[in-house]
Amino acid sequence: MPKLPKGMFRRGRSYYARLRVDGRDVWRSLGSEYGGAARRLRELRGSSTPLGDRTTVAEAAQQWLQHYVETARSPKNRKQSAARVAKYLKPFFEFVPVVKVGPDSLRRYRLWLEGRALSPTTVMHILSDARCFLRWCEETGLVAKTPFPRRVMPRLQERSPDRLGDDDVAKLLEVREPFGFVVRLALGTGLRWGELTRSQASHVEGGWLVVSQTKSGRVRRVPLAPELLREVRSRVGRLVPFAECSPGSFAKLIRRETGIEGFHVHQMRHTFACRWVEQGGNLAALQQILGHASIVTTQRYARLSDDAVRREAERLVARAGGFA
């Protein structure tokens, strides 16, 4: 490996420059190819323009995808971030220098997104990526301070978890095998589809199903009800015998079997969580079972269903003879 020029450093597969700008050290990515990195370093040192003034949003966004997103996000989220940059960030800003992006630019960006008939949730996700991108620009010295303004994110209407009603759950439990077992496993554990398809009978320890390959990367233990535990222990190998089946294909099959319109696999996870709360389950325990990083995410299940509220009201009326 050649000796690196002064001010160039290697971290992993990429090269970086440490430059002095406005009395402070800033770091700049130079890419992963040595010759190109050395040439880029010479260009930066020979430029009379302050660091970042010549870097466009499109150029910086590409570096953000290559260096930050590639190492900090899952494969699925990496694809989503790249798509958002290509479809929205680049077309709107394109050749605008990063240092010229201001709070009003981002407000106009939000209005432009909303004008494309995108849902508020989609707009929020796109703006969240823009906020992360600009924070990365601040960390790498492309801008002195992120220009992302406060109160630019759209307010989202609260939505109840997309759970299944008791009648629909009854229909699911009548589905023929081997699909019926998958339904019972999903309703009894609240696992995501990927976690279901990776689960094996050997992952059971005591009365727990150990889930190791998770969205958060943390191992968690999911309790199994006695009947489900006996059923799981009677099996060998993968618990879901058609692991290659996509959640969309499985949902389509279930819709044909049950006639439940709009059914999707994640509804079983929502149903598990809602039933846990309605039966008096602890919210902190539910957070651990579902694998949520924040209790705030779990709290959305704390709102009881209309049926649960009605049953509680009927219980109180029956006991007290009416409301005071």
- pLDDT band, very low/low/confident/very high, at 301 (cuts 50, 70, 90): confident
Architecture of the 52-157 domain: Orthogonal Bundle (1.10)
Most confident of 179-193, 208-222, 275-289: 179-193
What value does the mean pLDDT of the chain take? 85
pLDDT of residue 304: 60
Q: Which pLDDT value is given to residue 39?
A: 77
Give the range among 18-27, 62-71, 72-81, 89-98 with minimum mean pLDDT: 18-27
For domain 166-313, give the fold. hpI Integrase; Chain A (1.10.443)
Closest CA to 238 of 221, 219, 213, 264: 213
Cα atoms in the Cβ-side hemisphere of radius 13 Å centred on 163 = 25
Predicted confidence band of residue 307 (pLDDT cuts 50, 70, 90):
low
DSSP state of 89: I
Place 116 in a pLDDT band, splitting at 50, 70 and 90: very high
pLDDT, mean of residues 275-287: 89
On the question of pLDDT at 49 being above 50, the answer is no
Cβ proximity of 210 and 219 under 8 Å:
yes
Residue 255 has pLDDT above 90, yes or no: yes
Q: Which residues contact 5 (CB under 8 A, 6 or more apart)?
A: 38, 41
CA–CA gap between residue 145 and residue 157 (Å, rounded): 31
pLDDT score at 53: 60
Percent of the chain with pLDDT over 90: 45
Band (pLDDT 50/70/90 cuts) for residue 88 is very high
In this predicted model, which residue has the larger pLDDT, 310 or 121?
A: 121
Q: Has residue 322 got a pLDDT over 60?
A: no
* Cis amide prior to 97 (ω within 30 degrees): no
Pairing mode, strands 204-205 and 208-211: antiparallel
**Is the model's pTM score more than 0.75?**
no
- Answer whether residue 198 shows pLDDT above 50: yes
